[in-house]
Chain A
Amino acid sequence: MRNPAIALRLRLLAWSLPLAIAAELGIALFSLWITSISVIVVTVGVPLTLASTFAVRWFADRHRSWAANVLGEAIPRPYLLVRPGAGVLSRLWTIIRDPATWRDWIWLLVNASVGFTLSILSFSLFAGGLFYLIYPFLWSVTPPAVFSDPFGGVFHIGQLSEAFLMVPLGPVFLLIWWSSVVPLGRLNARIMHGLLAPTDTARLTARVEQLASSRAETVDTQAAELRRIERDLHDGAQARLVSLGMSLGLAAELMANDPEAARKLLSEARDSTTSALAELRDLVRGIHPPVLADRGLDGAVQALALANPIPTHVTVQIPGRLPAPVESAAYFAVAECLTNAIKHSGAGWIGVDVSYQSGPPSGLLVMLVQDDGRGGADTAAGSGIRGIERRLAAFDGHTDVTSPIGGPTQVRMTLPCELSSPKTSHSSATG
Chain B
Amino acid sequence: MRVVIAEDLALLRDGLIRLLEAYQFEVVEAVDNGPGLLRALITHKPDVAVVDVRLPPSFTDEGLRAAIQARREVPGLPVLVLSQYVEQLYARELLSDRAGGVGYLLKDRVSNVGQFVDAVKRVAAGGTAMDPEVISALLVRRASDEPLTTLTPREREVLEFMAEGRSNSAIAARMFVTEKAVSKHSNNIFAKLGLEQSEEDNRRVLAVLAYLQA
Same complex origin of A and B? yes
Question: Which listed residue (A274, A290, A293, A309) contacts B144, Cβ 8 A?
Answer: A309
Known: A306-B92, A308-B141. A291 touches B87 (CB 8 A): yes
Known: A308-B141, A309-B140, A309-B143. A303 touches B89 (CB 8 A): yes
CB distance from B119 to the nearest CB of A (A): 16
* B108 contacts A306, C-beta separation under 8 Å: no
What sequence of 0s and 1s flags, for each residue 251-286 of chain A, a beta carbon within 8 Å of any chain B beta carbon?
Answer: 000000000000000000010011001100100110
* B61 contacts A306, C-beta separation under 8 Å: no
* B143 contacts A303, C-beta separation under 8 Å: no
* A285 contacts B111, C-beta separation under 8 Å: no
* A299 contacts B140, C-beta separation under 8 Å: no
Question: In the complex, A290→B92 CA distance in Å?
Answer: 17
A interface: dominant SS: helix
CB distance from A283 to the nearest CB of B (A): 11
- Contact partners of A281 in chain B: CB under 8 A: 84-85
Known: A270-B111, A273-B108. A285 touches B85 (CB 8 A): yes
What sequence of 0s and 1s flags, for each residue 119-140 of chain B, a beta carbon within 8 Å of any chain A beta carbon?
Answer: 0000000000000000001001
Closest A-chain residue to B143, C-beta based?
A309
- Contact partners of A274 in chain B: CB under 8 A: 108, 111
* B141 contacts A284, C-beta separation under 8 Å: no
* A290 contacts B140, C-beta separation under 8 Å: no
Interface presence of B112 (CB below 8 A): yes
Known: A294-B61, A295-B61, A308-B141. A284 touches B111 (CB 8 A): no
Interface presence of A302 (CB below 8 A): yes
* B141 contacts A302, C-beta separation under 8 Å: no
Interface presence of A307 (CB below 8 A): yes
What sequence of 0s and 1s flags, for each residue 96-117 of chain B, a beta carbon within 8 Å of any chain A beta carbon?
Answer: 0000000000111001100000
- Contact partners of B92 in chain A: CB under 8 A: 306
CB distance from A236 to the nearest CB of B (A): 15
* B111 contacts A291, C-beta separation under 8 Å: no
Interface size class of B (residues with CB under 8 A): 20 to 34
Max count, chain B CB within 10 A of own CB: residue among A281, A293, A303 = A281
Question: In the complex, A284→B85 CA distance in Å?
Answer: 9
* B89 contacts A302, C-beta separation under 8 Å: yes
What sequence of 0s and 1s flags, for each residue 187-208 of chain B, a beta carbon within 8 Å of any chain A beta carbon?
Answer: 0000000000000000000000
Interface size class of A (residues with CB under 8 A): 20 to 34
Question: In the complex, A119→B59 CA distance in Å?
Answer: 67
Known: A270-B111, A273-B108. A291 touches B141 (CB 8 A): no
* A307 contacts B111, C-beta separation under 8 Å: no
Closest A-chain residue to B133, C-beta based?
A278
- Contact partners of B143 in chain A: CB under 8 A: 309
Known: A270-B111, A274-B108. A307 touches B88 (CB 8 A): yes
Interface presence of B60 (CB below 8 A): yes
Closest B-chain residue to A281, C-beta based?
B85
* A309 contacts B141, C-beta separation under 8 Å: yes
Known: A277-B108, A294-B61. A303 touches B141 (CB 8 A): no
What sequence of 0s and 1s flags, for each residue 9-25 of chain B, a beta carbon within 8 Å of any chain A beta carbon?
Answer: 00000000000000000
* A303 contacts B112, C-beta separation under 8 Å: no
Interface presence of B54 (CB below 8 A): yes
CB distance from B137 to the nearest CB of A (A): 6
CB distance from A18 to the nearest CB of B (A): 60
- Contact partners of B85 in chain A: CB under 8 A: 281, 284-285, 290
CB distance from A284 to the nearest CB of B (A): 7
What sequence of 0s and 1s flags, for each residue 301-318 of chain A, a beta carbon within 8 Å of any chain B beta carbon?
Answer: 011001111000000000
Question: In the complex, A89→B80 CA distance in Å?
Answer: 72
Q: Could you tell me which residues of chain B, from 32 to 90, have a CB within 8 Å of some CB in chain A? A: 53-54, 59-61, 84-85, 87-90
Question: In the complex, A141→B144 CA distance in Å?
Answer: 85
Closest B-chain residue to A274, C-beta based?
B108
Question: In the complex, A293→B54 CA distance in Å?
Answer: 10
Question: In the complex, A303→B84 CA distance in Å?
Answer: 16
- Contact partners of B107 in chain A: CB under 8 A: 277
Closest B-chain residue to A290, C-beta based?
B85
Listed A/B pairs (11) with beta-carbon separation below 8 Å: A270-B111, A273-B108, A273-B111, A274-B108, A284-B85, A294-B60, A294-B61, A299-B89, A306-B88, A308-B141, A309-B144
Q: A278-B108, A294-B60 are in contact. List 9 more A-B contacts (CB 8 A).
A: A273-B108, A273-B111, A277-B108, A281-B84, A293-B60, A306-B88, A307-B137, A308-B141, A309-B143
A-side interface residues toward B, CB under 8 Å? 270, 273-274, 277-278, 281, 284-285, 290-291, 293-295, 299, 302-303, 306-309
